Chain A
């Protein structure tokens, strides 16, 4: 716990929200991509899975191993970027080169499972969370500045 620990914690949040923004923009850019890089179907929506950082795990009692206190936490980190495997959107377009050639779905094209409205709300959430973290940094900065004023007569 130092004077900058709150700022460092908020900085992890800022990085995580930046990454979320990147993922959302990638989703929107690929909203009509019908071939992924493996060539086995359309693009699927990415989403960010986050997990907390706890550096200072401490024991409440050395003889009671279930009493692990997680400490005050050190922020958030992105665990992985996961593919959303929800069902794909079907659009009827028989002239499309990626349309389904056989079966009862003949003539349909599998489009990515990306809803632009969902992505926009995600984008707004990410930018608001970023703003909240910036506010947090400004708050801790104001606190440190006040602490420095103690020394000034």
Chain B
């Protein structure tokens, strides 16, 4: 799409077009870095605000579950139609799922350990 500024004839330009006749495409700046606007305090988006540890943990578990489901789907696809998927994609998905669940389990173990230490305060 192009923009073309055609001026109305008035006192200043007597009907001639503007000296800067803008033609061309409108291009959006689609990549920007938030660090360029450090001084402006932007409100944080709502989905980053978590109510409690339980909410955070539930969200993390959902994401981990998605990884597992993705790995499962890829494995099944590998069994059904081996040409449609690369071997390394399946292996990488499985490894990502395993690492994610190990990470989440480590966090959960830490919380449980802290809870046990608190309950055995005597």
Residue numbers of A with Cβ under 8 A of B are 3-4, 7, 11, 14-15, 18, 56-59, 62, 134, 137, 141, 144-145, 148, 151-153
Q: Return the contact of B92 from the options A3, A56, A137, A152 (Cβ within 8 A).
A: A137
Contact A11 B31 (CB under 8 A): no
- Do A148 and B106 have beta carbons less than 8 Å apart? yes
Inter-subunit contact A56/B31 (CB<8 Å): yes
Q: Is B110 an interface residue (CB 8 A)?
A: yes
B: number of interface residues (CB 8 Å): 18
Least Cβ–Cβ distance between B39 and chain A, in angstroms: 13
Please tell me if the beta carbons of A7 and B96 are within 8 angstroms of each other in the complex. yes
- Find the residue from A15, A58, A152 having the highest chain B CB count within 10 A: A58
Residues in B with CB closer than 8 Å to A59 are 32-33, 36
Asked whether, in the complex, the Cβ of A151 is within 8 Å of the Cβ of B86, the reply is no
Say yes or no: A151 contacts B107, CB within 8 Å. yes
Contact assessment for A57 and B86 in the assembled complex, using a CB-CB cutoff below 8 Å: no
Q: Which residues of A contact B33 (CB under 8 A)?
A: 58-59
The 9 closest A-B pairs by CB, nearest first: A58-B33, A151-B106, A14-B88, A57-B31, A144-B99, A148-B106, A11-B92, A148-B103, A62-B36
Least CB separation from B102: chain A residue: A148
Cβ A145 vs Cβ B99 within 8 A:
yes
Residues in chain B near residue A152, CB distance under 8 A: 106, 109
Docked-complex contact A14 and B86, CB < 8 angstroms: yes
Residues of B near A57 (CB, < 8 A) are 31
B62 within 8 A of A: no
Say yes or no: A18-B95 contact (C-beta < 8 A), given A58-B33, A62-B36.
no
Q: Considering the complex, give the chain A residue whose CB is closest to the CB of B29.
A: A59
Q: Does B89 contact A (CB under 8 A)?
A: yes
In the complex, A62 Cα to B32 Cα: how many Å? 10
CA gap between A12 and B83 in the complex, in Å: 18
0/1 string, B66-105, CB within 8 A of A gives 1: 0000000000000000000010110010011001001100
Q: What is the CA–CA distance of A58 and B32 in the complex, to the nearest angstrom?
A: 6
Q: Which residues of B contact A56 (CB under 8 A)?
A: 31
